[in-house]
Amino acid sequence: MPPHTPTYLSQGPRVGLRPLRAADGPEFTARVRESRALHEPWLFPPATIEEYEPYAARLAQGAPGAGFLVCDLADGAIAGFVNVNNIVRGAFQCGALGYGAFAHAAGRGLLGEGLGLLLAYAFAGTGLALHRLEANIQPGNAASIALVRGRGFRREGLSPDFLHVAGAWRDHERWALTAPPEPRAGAFA
């Protein structure tokens, strides 16, 4: 149980979305270690406090990324995380997603619900005010592909040797979603 009742940016029926904090290190890293079999070979989040501290500090700064936790409303436990990395402003207004469920919450739809909350926040003018989000996923990661496909992302192509993961350059499928269009003044309904 968290040391205090968190304030959520957004809540769904089963999860709340909140910013990642330095104080989340012990629970976050314990969940990472419990989830190694689930995450590898796709994902390697920080598994020790020494790795977590710079990770959390970078995401807490808000530029060029932001980190969020998906928490189970039933007990406040961290169910997963969603980061918006490499945020580019100006004419692009885009960020790249990184995410993962923790083993105790996997297969229950909690990360999917949390991703839905994150998308609303990321595209909102009162949130991150982005126009586009990208997810780069290794082709064999069927669960991750199903997650973004289920949230409306479209596959845009394949990038050979795109990211260095687990000691090698890996191919990644590029998936993207753009913000819903804003109504135009004077447009007919």
Per-residue pLDDT of the chain (189 residues; tens, 9 = 90+): 444 566 899 999 999 999 999 999 999 999 999 999 999 999 999 999 999 999 999 998 876 889 999 999 999 999 999 999 999 999 999 999 999 999 999 999 999 999 999 999 999 988 999 999 999 999 999 999 999 999 999 999 999 999 999 899 999 999 999 998 766 555 554
What is the per-residue DSSP string for 20-53? --GGGHHHHHHHHHHTHHHHTTT-----SHHHHH
Q: Within 10 A of 181 (CB to CB), how many other CB atoms are there?
A: 7
Burial class from Cβ neighbours inside 10 Å (0-12, 13-18, 19+) for residue 126 reads exposed
Q: Is 109 left (phi over 0), alpha (psi -120 to 50) or beta?
A: left
Q: Within 10 A of 116 (CB to CB), how many other CB atoms are there?
A: 17
3-state secondary structure of 117: helix
